[in-house]
Amino acid sequence: MRKALLIAGLIMLASGTAEAAKCGNNAQGFPKWLAAFKREAVASGISSRTVEAALGNMTYNRKVIRLDRNQKSFKLSFEQFLARRAPPSTIAMGKRRMQQHARVLDRVERKYGVPKEVIVSIWGLESGFGGFMGNIPIFSSLSALAYDCRRSAFFTNELMSALRIADRGQMRIADMKGAWAGEIGQTQFLASSYERYAVDFDGDGRPNLIRSTPDVFASTANFLRQHGWSKGGDWSPGSRNYGVLRDWNRAEVYRKTIAHFATQLRR
């Protein structure tokens, strides 16, 4: 009996240790976690060559964790956020970009039912109309965030998605750079969204959300349509389409800014 209890206790202790090794809040356990994750990725069907190319010499990215802990912009009031992210100069730039890309935006709107004003407002807010997409290698960002205990499950899924994108040859690992949370391209798709909603609208054989504006516009519209966007519907706060914008960004101040920006573009 005593021996059985001892064995049971050791099993529970081992189980607890294994569970704790799944994530961590400092650099100490990162190498062990990474080795286990790489084995899991290969077991899921991703080639060992891709896994090693993406993660082979990876180290813990402390900067990414600091940025994750310090998202102050979403604590601003709507007026403060609007002044910072969508001032009159940015809205004027949006109107020029909308005219510049009018033909392809009209095609996208006809196919997906999402107004060009909404697409361009998201484009402007996410990357300054493609001007700054981020330059952090996303495998560095995503591995740090997947290891971090705060949102480990969420970012582990994103890391797996990013590896699958690379393994299929949809993007080169060297090109997979973005913002600190691993977002990719001109409207900052997370890897799982890239897998599900990215569209090859320019017909070159694969979606490219970094360099192809037709692909960027169509993929953004496809995301919103797949999340329930109602063609011809309003996007003001309280509307059904405003609710769909929550699937784009859960921060109320961000959704309200998208809606305001799009309304200004329509005037």
What would the pLDDT profile of 224-239 be if each residue is shown by its tens digit? 999 999 999 999 999 9
Residue 73 pLDDT more than 80? no
CB 118 within 8 A of CB 236: no
3-state secondary structure of 201: coil
CB 39 within 8 A of CB 22: no
224: number of Cβ within 10 Å = 24
Nearest CA to 179 out of 191, 169, 161 is that of: 191
> DSSP assignment, residue 27?
G
CB 261 within 8 A of CB 91: yes
Reading the block at residue 92, the tokens are 């004027």
Distance CA 265, CA 261 (A): 6
Distance CA 155, CA 149 (A): 10
* Helices and strands in the chain: count of H runs, count of E runs: 14, 2
153: number of Cβ within 10 Å = 9
Predicted local distance difference test score (pLDDT) of residue 126: 97
Place of tokens 């899924």: 157
Average pLDDT over every residue of 27-52:
96
Average pLDDT over every residue of 42-66:
97
Which domains does the chain carry? 24-60+136-183 (no CATH), 78-133+191-266 (1.10.530.10)
Angle at 209 between CA 141 and CA 264, to 5 degrees: 105
Residues marked active site are found at 126
Residue 149 pLDDT more than 60? yes
Single pTM value for the model: 0.89
Residue 4 pLDDT more than 80? no
Distance CA 174, CA 167 (A): 13
Higher pLDDT, 21 or 189: 189
Nearest CA to 159 out of 173, 145, 149, 148 is that of: 145
Reading the block at residue 192, the tokens are 């799982």
Identity of residue 115: P
Predicted local distance difference test score (pLDDT) of residue 112: 98
Reading the block at residue 17, the tokens are 């240790």
Backbone angles phi, psi at 229, to 5 degrees: -60, 135
Angle at 157 between CA 197 and CA 31, to 5 degrees: 140
Q: Is 118 exposed, middle or buried (0-12, 13-18, 19+ CB in 10 A)?
A: buried
Reading the block at residue 126, the tokens are 């996410």
Residue 248 banded pLDDT, cuts 50, 70, 90: very high
